[in-house]
Chain A
Amino acid sequence: MSKGVVIFAYNSTIDYVSMATLAAKLVQKHLDIPVTLITNSTDVEAGVFDQIVIQDLVDKEYERVFKFGSGSKRVVWHNQNRPSVYDLSPYDQTLLIDADYLIFDSGLKYLFDTNHDIMCYNYVIDITGSRSLQRGAQVGRPGIPMQWATVVYFTKNKLAQGVFEFMQGIKENYLYYAGAYNFIPQLYRNDYALSIALQALTGYNNKNFKSIHGPLLTANTGVDIAEVKSTGEIVFTWNRKGTETLPAGKSFTVLKDTNIHIMNKLTITDLDIITQLTELAL
């Protein structure tokens, strides 16, 4: 059975293709499997990707306001081709990752030795300790448990096919599902579509599908990468809100050999930072 990673990257004011190139190099180093890029860009570094699938954007653009450490920025956001991954993936076993999900250890290799149809993370841990993204996240109110589309493992099977087809249907009828599940429809979210499709197609039961073990470790959009050391340590900083015991100020943490979803697109595409991160993939 063939296995590989698929990454979507559509450039806007943010260079997603560069992010995907970095992510692909890290995959090759730590998981040692090929990577396919799905993009509308023809300007892609040679020799990185196993296959490049050119797929034009067909849906409307969304604008999203990202709150970065240095302020906020309104950016065009292309996230709507994701449900087509089932048809576009050239692999029997696929690990779909966001372009900003960076792999620094081989832990996810085990997914390819399981016999599960489709898996994703069901909870997030934010490295700042903020609880806004963490356990108990819901789609809508009262809602169903959130499943995170940042990392999705699937094989070619009826359930996975059904989930991605259902996600397509949700995307095309997003207003209807926003009403049915009682969430804000302004922004299409793959997390929502995946959560609804998975839950519905496994018998409207929150425990009939398998989650990837452990947390989706995340650095939220307010977190900057201060520096990447040649020893592999990545130093993250953010503005801390004041509490009764600790005044407002700057905090930092450091990670090494740990996969992480970096939501701050400005920090990850900063030329110095992406160069330093790329050196870790060598």
Chain B
Amino acid sequence: MDSNKLKDLADAQFAKSAFLTSLKETYDAKLTITHRGGTFIARPELIAFLNSWHDAEIHVEDIYNTPILADRNALLAEAKAAYRMASVHWATEVQRTNSIDKDTDV
């Protein structure tokens, strides 16, 4: 990297607000799962809803407003796994931003 480019980088400011906005949106996209042809977002509401029933199968509305007869336990397991993965990624990235000020902090 040439010296001008290095100086530019050293002077650059971290666009934290824009970063957090795009991170939140991509975190949300990472929560997307499919089950029996339906598409679901593994948000806490979905996990809590599935957890509150005991039936083996239950109709659940997917994000495209289509009712899907879900295998409750299977969908719950998939939702929990997606939630865990996406939320760990999100939390790690948010925590990391707190220590970023200059490019050299990355």
Contact = CB atoms under 8 A, between A and B. Distances in A.
Whether A associates with B in a native complex is yes
Interface of A: 105, 107, 110, 113-116, 125-129, 210, 213-215, 217, 226-227, 229, 233, 235, 237, 240, 246, 249-259
A235 B9 CA distance: 10
A227 B1 contact: yes
B103 A226 contact: yes
A115 B28 CA distance: 21
Interface stretch (B31-39, B52-60, B69-77): B31-39
B13 A250 contact: yes
A255 B93 CA distance: 9
10 contacts: A110-B33, A113-B37, A213-B63, A215-B29, A250-B9, A251-B12, A252-B14, A254-B106, A255-B22, A258-B26
Given A215-B29, A252-B9, A233 B14 contact: no
Contact of A127 (B9, B22, B100): B22
A253 B33 contact: no
B95 interface: no
A130 to B, nearest CB: 8
Contacts of A110: 32-34, 39
A214 B1 contact: no
B45 interface: no
B32 A213 contact: yes
Contacts, number: 99
A252 B15 contact: yes
B29 A252 contact: no
Interface residues of B, number: 33
B43 to A, nearest CB: 12
Contacts of A113: 34, 37
A213 B42 CA distance: 12
Nearest to B86: A107
A135 B60 CA distance: 28
B47 to A, nearest CB: 17
A253 B14 contact: yes
Contacts of A235: 9, 103, 106
Contacts of A107: 29-30, 32
Given A107-B32, A129-B15, 5 more contacts: A129-B18, A213-B39, A215-B22, A252-B15, A253-B22
A125 B27 CA distance: 13
Contacts of A127: 15, 18-19, 22
Contacts of A210: 64
